[in-house]
Amino acid sequence: MTNITLFAQIISKIDRRIFNNLVGKYNSDKHNKGFNSWTHFVSMLFCHFASSKSVRDISNGLRSATGNLNHLGIQKAPSKSTISYQNKRRDWHLFRDLYYELSENFQKDNQFKKVKFKIKSKIYLLDSSTISLCLSLFDWAKYKTHKGAVKIHTVLDYDSDLPIYINITDGKTADNKGAYNIPLQANSVIVADRFYNDFTMLNNWDSKQVKFVIRHKNNLKFKVIKENELPSNRHQNILKDEVIELESMISNSKYPNKLRRISVWDEENKQVIELITNQISWTAETISELYKARWRIEIFFREIKQLLHIKTFIGTSENAVMIQIWTAMITILMLRVLKKVRNMDGTCPI
């Protein structure tokens, strides 16, 4: 049986004022028929916490904890039909905004700050992950002829290992297209793989004083303007440090500025990794380490797929899928906060 006491501790960390303000903003309790937004929210968090595979599992699981429901702020366990109905009807933007507001609220005290890089820039890691779906059931999630999918485009805060921005699209949306509207603050640095080698987007970031470290494609055409001397005390994995400009007329028209190109030997995978960046002053070692840190977002995607319930969905509508994904994000946020606050020494599932 699910540990209701621990679940109640997680629920207690939710600021009800934030939640109630959002309920008012979206008018999400109108015509709720006894199943208000808070009960809906608790039910979906229970879905992830208990690894429920159906709305029946959620309903039965909460019903088995009848004596503890008051601690969760709900009066009675909802029926499976009620959960299904509201997953189709209640505006999923409520749960998206709740994630962002809770995340911002918990990070105000800088409790997640890591100390690794000797740079003042805020570090963000960009990537996407695809979740396969059955096209016959999820006909809105276009991907391939006989296969459906949603793609989660994510910007991960390096300090907290939590998303600061998520864009959920159908599986056909290219990685770079899903990243066009991400909000980035000036003087921050964003780290991404070769799928984001989009010079129109990079030029837009550059114009907003955003620094980037991107792995470039193998077919990149460029001209070396200057080869920077490698210091004798450098890490031996640094092979080249160059200033380049794009040689292709089309690419150069999209990104007319000079770039810095760094070649790094990846000992683990026995390959050369070639990076481009608009940051001139940092050492090649710092840029190499920044790209290496990108694997944190790969770990994040693996964790949420293994530990949270987003590979199998309890509803087939787009609204239901969105609610399940955003409540999964809130669950991982709350587990990390609880682990930090109570110093759980690894006992937290995430």
Residue 325 and residue 241 share a domain: no
Residue 1: predicted pLDDT: 47
Low-confidence ranges of the chain (pLDDT < 70): 1-5, 66-68, 109-116, 234, 307-311, 341-350
Give the pairing of strands 222-227 and 238-246: antiparallel
Residue 111: predicted pLDDT: 55
Residue 332 and residue 255 share a domain: no
Residue 320 and residue 287 share a domain: no
Residue 332 and residue 289 share a domain: no
Residue 163 inside a domain? The answer is: no
Residue 329 and residue 286 share a domain: no
Residue 93 and residue 39 share a domain: yes
Residue 267 and residue 202 share a domain: yes
φ/ψ of residue 160, rounded to 5: -100, -15
Three-class HEC string of 268-331: CCCEEEEEEECCCCCCHHHHHHHHHCCHHHHHHHHHHHHHCCCCCCCCCCHHHHHHHHHHHHHH
Own/partner long-range contacts of 139-146 (Cβ < 8 Å, ≥24 apart): 140/170, 140/317, 140/318, 141/170, 141/171, 141/318, 141/321, 142/170, 142/171, 142/172, 143/170, 143/171, 143/172, 144/171
Residue 347: predicted pLDDT: 46
Residue 205: predicted pLDDT: 95
Answer for the pair 255, 278: CB distance below 8 angstroms, yes or no. Answer: no
Residue 179 inside a domain? The answer is: no
Residue 150 inside a domain? The answer is: no
* Entry pTM: 0.87
Residue 165 inside a domain? The answer is: no
Residue 267 inside a domain? The answer is: yes
Query: Residue 259: left (phi > 0), alpha (psi -120 to 50), or beta?
Result: beta
What torsion, rounded to 10 degrees, do the Cα atoms 267, 269, 346, 289 define? 50
Residue 221: predicted pLDDT: 94
Residue 132: predicted pLDDT: 83
Residue 246 belongs to what domain range? 194-293
Residue 145 inside a domain? The answer is: no
- Please state the domain count of the chain: 2
Residue 8: predicted pLDDT: 81
